[in-house]
Amino acid sequence: MSENKDSKVKNNAARPPSFWRRFGMQFGIWSVGIFMWLIFVVTASEAFTSKDIYLAFASSTPLFALMAIPLTLIVITGEIDLSFPAVMALATATFAKIYSGTGNIWVGFIAALVVGTLCGYFNGWLVTWFGIPSLVITIGTSFLFRGIELAWMNGSGVGLTDDKLLGVANLLVGRSFFGIANQFWWTILATLVLWFILNRTQFGAHVFLTGDNKTSAQLMGVNVNRVKRRTFAIMGFFAAFAGLVASFEVSYFWPTLGEGLLMNSIAAVFLGGTSVFGGVGTVTGTFVGSFIIGAINAGIVASGINAFFTQVFFGLVIILSVIMQAVISKRIKR
């Protein structure tokens, strides 16, 4: 089979794209990650050679990685979502309210996912129906969703320590296999599922086409608005799930849930090689990007550097990777 393919290639004198063209971006992301890790292993060898710090990554990074991964799809279509932290909170509030009202965990759980998905779909509808840039409209919906949640909860949190909740808490954030947090496995699962959706379904193919050249895609019969609405709905679904995970991780639903995760998620997407102009991106890149962001946070502290330097480091890594992306993609265009 492979021999046949080779001879065919030779007959056409067609060469596959070079290694750099195909994997340059991925290679770059992994290099940044490994380079960072080596720095930390040298500067904070005690912390970075014990397994505790990796267990800590596995429990804290998924809180934003679970949203960075679906956000990748939205960015590939050339849009952005800034409202997902608020969707996290509103969906988890739905769970808390329904659970305290009915005592039924799974009704609350499913209602939370439905509310998240609907919030996302609402974003997508506003973006596509009115043609408003998502950067602007999701700032608006962010305040709207957060406002509804705060008013509904009257600004107060809810403890999630009920014995009846132990089962679902264990499922979401329990520890398994040498103490690795379950949310790490959920993140792996999310990466696999969204990889499949992006690379092996027609919807995924249309995500790339929509972000690359909207008019061309429309001329060839791609319903670009439907594609965008669906990416926003997927985002909402995962935001709701991440909200439940983050709340069960601390056994408490804070009404401010999600604040502080926005920039981490967005940074992970761009660090992961997804183009800010749309049309190009990978969920595996975002996965690695998330863990690089997580490692910076922990590594700075473990290296004994003043924690105020975290953001300096953060900024440098992001700027360097985006420059690297620009250089690589320019070389691709020969």
Partner 1 sequence: MNSKTPVIQLKNVSKTFGEVRSLSEVNIEIYPGEIVGLLGDNGAGKSTLVKTIMGFHRPDEGGEIWFKGEKITDWNVAKARELGIETIYQERALCEQQPIWRNMFMGREIKNKFGRLDVKRMKSEATRLMSEHMGFTSTAVHPDNAVLTMSGGEKQGVAITRALYFDAELVILDEPTVGLSLSETKKTLDFIQNIKKSGRSAIFIDHNIFHIYPAVDRMIVLDRGKVAGNYKKSDITMDELIESMYRVARTGSIKE
Burial 179-215 (b: 16+ CB within 10 A, else e): ebbbbbebbeebbeebbebbeeeeebebbbbbbbebe
Interacting span for partner 1 (CB under 8 A) from 15-23, 85-93, 108-116, 304-312 = 15-23
Burial 60-69 (b: 16+ CB within 10 A, else e): bbbbbbbbbb
Q: What burial class does residue 218 get, using C-beta atoms within 10 Å of its C-beta: 0-12 exposed, 13-18 middle, 19+ buried?
A: middle
Backbone angles phi, psi at 61, to 5 degrees: -60, -40
Q: Pick out residues in 280-319 that bind partner 1 (CB under 8 A).
A: 280
Interacting span for partner 1 (CB under 8 A) from 13-21, 29-37, 172-180, 314-322 = 13-21
Interaction pattern, residues 188-227, with partner 1; x per rule: CB under 8 A: -----------xxxx-xxx-xx--xx-xxxxxxxxx----
Residues with Cβ within 8 Å of 277's Cβ and at least 6 positions away in sequence, in order, are 78
Q: Pick out residues in 242-281 that bind partner 1 (CB under 8 A).
A: 279-280
Interacting span for partner 1 (CB under 8 A) from 82-90, 108-116, 186-194, 326-334 = 326-334
Interaction pattern, residues 54-93, with partner 1; x per rule: CB under 8 A: ----------------------------------------
Q: How far is the CB of 69 from partner 1 (least distance, A)?
A: 20
Interacting span for partner 1 (CB under 8 A) from 10-18, 45-53, 239-247, 265-273 = 10-18
Say whether residue 50 binds partner 1 (CB under 8 A). Answer: no
Nearest C-alpha neighbor of 85 from the set 69, 57, 107, 63: 63
Among 2, 7, 11, 156, which residue sits at the site for partner 1 (rule: CB under 8 A)?
A: 11
Q: How far is the CB of 200 from partner 1 (least distance, A)?
A: 5
Size of the site for partner 1 (CB under 8 A): 36
Say whether residue 332 binds partner 1 (CB under 8 A). Answer: yes
Nearest C-alpha neighbor of 234 from the set 25, 96, 101, 79: 79
Say whether residue 131 binds partner 1 (CB under 8 A). Answer: no
Interacting span for partner 1 (CB under 8 A) from 4-12, 100-108, 179-187, 261-269 = 4-12
Tokens at 253, concatenated:
């639903």
Backbone angles phi, psi at 181, to 5 degrees: -70, 140
For residue 274, the SS3 value is coil
Contact call for residues 254 and 157 (beta carbons, < 8 A)? yes
Count of beta carbons in the 10 Å neighbourhood of residue 3 = 7
Say whether residue 2 binds partner 1 (CB under 8 A). Answer: no
Kindly list the residues in this chain that would bind partner 1 in the complex (CB under 8 A).
8-9, 11-17, 21-22, 199-202, 204-206, 208-209, 212-213, 215-223, 279-280, 332-334
